[in-house]
Structure 1
Amino acid sequence: MAEYYFNLPPITALTIPQQAALDDPAQIALSGGPGTGKSVVSLWRHISNHMSNPAKKSLLLTYTTTLKEYLKACCRSQNEDAAKMVATSLKSRDKIHKYKFAEIIIDEAQDLDEGYYHGILSNVSYGADDSQILYPDHCCYQSQLTSLFPDNVEHVLSKNFRSTQKIMKFAKATFPDAVIPREIIDGLASNIGELPVFMVSDGISHERTDDKQNNAILEIINAFKSDTHNIAILVPWKSEVQVFENILKGKVDDFSLYYENKERFPDGCATIKNVHITTFKSAKGLEFDTVIIPNFDILKRLPIIIQDRDTGENKIICDWKDLYVACTRAKSNLYLISNYDIPSLNSVVDKTVL
């Protein structure tokens, strides 16, 4: 199985709003929903800085190591110096408060608490989306970012370049609190696509998986696998990543996986194959041609709340935003496997019983 197929759109393919954000000489505040090109603009702004004469030594930061590897690989295809200046935001915290860069570009800026931004020595540009806040205990809303960086020029991206119209209609119907403007849906009229496939396995919700679900996953992978087709299995917890790792072992030639565990992954996500298993949170910022979400009936149990061992306070560990992010990673095919039927989805899915 091949490595993840990276496909950075050429700079000439950027839309007028994206080009305006890229070329703005001022610091920018990018916003827009999933697939609107926030990361693409950040990438090309960073690459263009390093390719300018003289070079502008900007630093591109993001929250997860998975997305860092994705951004680094995209930069590497254009400029090695730019690739060397891609890092995770938390590991760079001390650096950006001690050293000055031509520009710091922060992708997924909503993932960091407000205190992170105090005392940064460099000019900051950023991209953010409140609907993709997955860490509510340490986040920064767009209104807070605007207060922190009042002089940044706002650029709103309102055209989706990732998903099909039917996937986005599904997302709008399933996650009514997500901000998906009508113009996003209408703008996908030339990319209608297929309905998300909803598979009912009649499994047992408290079990990790069953034979019907496992066989369906393997059939989907075998149907689509190729060197240029990226497939993801997305799950809420690291324990479920391990479950599906065991299902794929010996049945899929080569695949990658990642979850947060410093013993197993001391350097974070070091590689992404084009069949990849990871958590909802670690998938944020990535995109895959085909996304498979097992045990989709978690939708009806959200939010998932546990008691914090240290403070005794209730803590949300998975809510609708996690699942929304997972679904909107899909470019062409979205497969949802549920232990039981969810009739409320009938109008926006193609249903089959396993």
Structure 2
Amino acid sequence: MPNFRFRLPIDRQLTDAQRLALNNDSSILICGGPGSGKTVVTINRFLKPIRNNKDVMLFTYNRTLLASIKGLLTEKSEELFGNLNAAAIKDVIDNKVASFYKWYGWFRPEFDEERVENDFKRKILNRGGRKYSEIFFDEAQDLTSSVFTNSFILADKVSCGADNAQNLQGNFPPDEAVDVIFGSLRRQSYTELQQLEANFRNTKEIFEFARGFVPEDLGVQEIDISELDSGENPEIIIGLNEVQQMEYMQRIIENNTNSNIGILVNYSNQVIKIKEHLEKNGYSCKADASEDKSFSYYYSNNMPYEDERVMFDQMKTPFIVTYDSCKGLEFDIVIMPFFNDAQAALNKPRRHKEGDKYIIEKNADGTNKMWATVNHYYVGATRAKTLLYVLCYLKPSILNFYKPVLASDSDNDLPF
């Protein structure tokens, strides 16, 4: 199966708004919906000082996005890095693009401003007092306000990309991530806000379906989709048991061998379940997997190190991943199986163990943090460029806004 491909338009292919954000020399917060080009602009802004040997850092939250960016920079190094030699390029890819959490030293969301301030100052002292010339945060809404209150301790200039509707971690109150981040940056140093309003990823049908998950989000509902291409309606297929869903997924994979395919689920055990199904049918996630039977997967807690290393070295599709870890990615085809679990995930609090007790995690507004929010499914659906499949046994009420295709009505399309 093909390598995962991150599409990176270069300067002459950008829109006027994207080019304006790219060429802005001040600190900047770039906001916009899925497919608007936030990550594209951030990467292009990062490459400008890199080509001039500036000391900069690009941070992501999701390790899957980190892997895809590193893969892009490796694959396109000759055209992206100007006159840098091979050793300098390797240093950038290895050391200048990082997971913020790992770079910090396993950052915890509950760290307050004072703790983060002291830790940032210690980071700079360890560098001999040298600030970075610029730091870049992609998917900034996944971090916390304490990070942005102290960002200028690290660098003379700060660039961020953020979207209120993709605040999946609950580290900001609903619909406030952009305002809070911008206010924090602006209080420290002059910072501009640049809105990217267009969507360049989805078809009209896919985006119309995706925003059905968040009917009360006016920012999403007001996005203009008149310029999007038309395509096929999402296929919402109900009445499939687990075995039938697995078979359906495999048929999609086999019929689309040259497409980027993302398989999105709620839980890590579901990632493992699909992984094991593919392996039983001759597929492999190992480094030596044959091209026609390879795939990749990722989940954040206790994933086998060797498999994670292989995924970072060469990200393949189909790519199996949780909704939490899919942001920043895009696929030609997205499959959302086991969707009958969505309603339970919306009502199941996240917990972590402290000593002998399990502690329910909290959002920034004090509410319980659930395994999923409606925004998870909005984000998941907007990963799809051309085709979207939602598979389930029983219809969850979250899908009441959309008329599904029943399994009994589509027998000719089912693989059994």
Output the TM-score relative to the length of structure 1. Answer: 0.88
Residues 344 and 318 of structure 1, relative CA distance in 2, 3 Å threshold: closer
Residues 289 and 46 of structure 1, relative CA distance in 2, 3 Å threshold: same
Given that residues 210 and 381 in structure 2 are in contact (C-alpha distance below 8 angstroms), is that contact kept between their aligned partners in structure 1? yes
1:143 aligns with 2:179: yes
Shift of 1:174: 2.9
Write the letter of the residue equivalent to 1:233: I
Please give the per-residue CA displacement for 1:205-240, whole angstroms capped at 9, x wherever unaligned. Answer: xxxxx22111111111111112xx210111011110
Q: Which residue of 1 aligns with 2:93?
A: 83
Please give the per-residue CA displacement for 1:91-124, whole angstroms capped at 9, x wherever unaligned. Answer: 2226784141111010011111122234432021
Q: Which residue of 1 aligns with 2:30?
A: 30
Q: Which residue of 2 aligns with 1:107?
A: 138
Given that residues 215 and 221 in structure 2 are in contact (C-alpha distance below 8 angstroms), is that contact kept between their aligned partners in structure 1? no
Q: Which residue of 2 aligns with 1:236?
A: 266
Given that residues 293 and 336 in structure 1 are in contact (C-alpha distance below 8 angstroms), is that contact kept between their aligned partners in structure 2? yes
Task: Give the length in aligned residue pairs.
Answer: 341
Question: Matched residues in 1 for 2:214 and 2:202: separation?
Answer: 16
Question: Matched residues in 2 for 1:7 and 1:185: separation?
Answer: 21
Question: Matched residues in 2 for 1:281 and 1:5: separation?
Answer: 20
Unpaired runs of 5+ residues, structure 2, are: 82-88, 105-118, 125-129, 284-292, 361-367, 409-413
Question: Matched residues in 2 for 1:72 and 1:284: separation?
Answer: 16
Shift of 1:282: 1.1
Question: Matched residues in 2 for 1:202 and 1:248: separation?
Answer: 18
Question: Matched residues in 2 for 1:173 and 1:181: separation?
Answer: 9
Given that residues 46 and 82 in structure 1 are in contact (C-alpha distance below 8 angstroms), is that contact kept between their aligned partners in structure 2? no
Question: Matched residues in 2 for 1:218 and 1:66: separation?
Answer: 22
Write the letter of the residue equivalent to 2:383: R
1:318 aligns with 2:352: no
Given that residues 261 and 319 in structure 2 are in contact (C-alpha distance below 8 angstroms), is that contact kept between their aligned partners in structure 1? yes
Shift of 1:262: 4.0
Question: Matched residues in 1 for 2:221 and 2:172: separation?
Answer: 27
Unpaired runs of 5+ residues, structure 1, are: 204-209
Question: Matched residues in 1 for 2:395 and 2:303: separation?
Answer: 39
SS in 2 for 1:305: coil
Q: Which residue of 1 aligns with 2:115?
A: none
Shift of 1:246: 1.1
Q: Which residue of 1 aligns with 2:298?
A: 258
Given that residues 337 and 392 in structure 2 are in contact (C-alpha distance below 8 angstroms), is that contact kept between their aligned partners in structure 1? yes
2:199 to 154, 160, 174: 160
1:222 aligns with 2:254: yes
Q: Which residue of 1 aligns with 2:168?
A: 134
Residues 48 and 250 of structure 1, relative CA distance in 2, 3 Å threshold: same
1:67 to 65, 68, 74: 65
Question: Matched residues in 1 for 2:350 and 2:131: separation?
Answer: 41
Given that residues 240 and 391 in structure 2 are in contact (C-alpha distance below 8 angstroms), is that contact kept between their aligned partners in structure 1? no
Question: Matched residues in 2 for 1:28 and 1:152: separation?
Answer: 5
Given that residues 8 and 40 in structure 2 are in contact (C-alpha distance below 8 angstroms), is that contact kept between their aligned partners in structure 1? yes
1:246 aligns with 2:299: no
SS in 2 for 1:22: helix
SS in 2 for 1:180: helix
Instruction: Single out whichever of 309-318 and 168-177 deviates more from structure 2.
Output: 309-318
Q: Which has the larger radius of gyration?
A: 2
2:154 to 115, 118, 121: 121
2:244 to 212, 215, 226: 212
Write the letter of the residue equivalent to 2:136: I
Instruction: Single out whichever of 299-308 and 231-240 deviates more from structure 2.
Output: 299-308
Q: Percent identity?
A: 30
Residues 183 and 134 of structure 1, relative CA distance in 2, 3 Å threshold: closer
Output the TM-score relative to the length of structure 2. Answer: 0.76
Shift of 1:67: 0.7
Q: Which residue of 2 aligns with 1:329?
A: 383
Residues 257 and 302 of structure 1, relative CA distance in 2, 3 Å threshold: closer
Question: Matched residues in 2 for 1:302 and 1:214: separation?
Answer: 20
Q: Which residue of 1 aligns with 2:112?
A: none
Matched ranges for 1:6-25 at <5 A: 6-25=6-25
Please give the per-residue CA displacement for 1:194-213, whole angstroms capped at 9, x wherever unaligned. Answer: 1001111343xxxxxx2211
SS in 1 for 2:50: helix
Shift of 1:4: 1.3
**Higher helix content, 1 or 2:** 2
Write the letter of the residue equivalent to 1:193: G
Matched ranges for 1:280-291 at <5 A: 280-291=323-334
Given that residues 43 and 75 in structure 1 are in contact (C-alpha distance below 8 angstroms), is that contact kept between their aligned partners in structure 2? no
1:339 aligns with 2:389: no
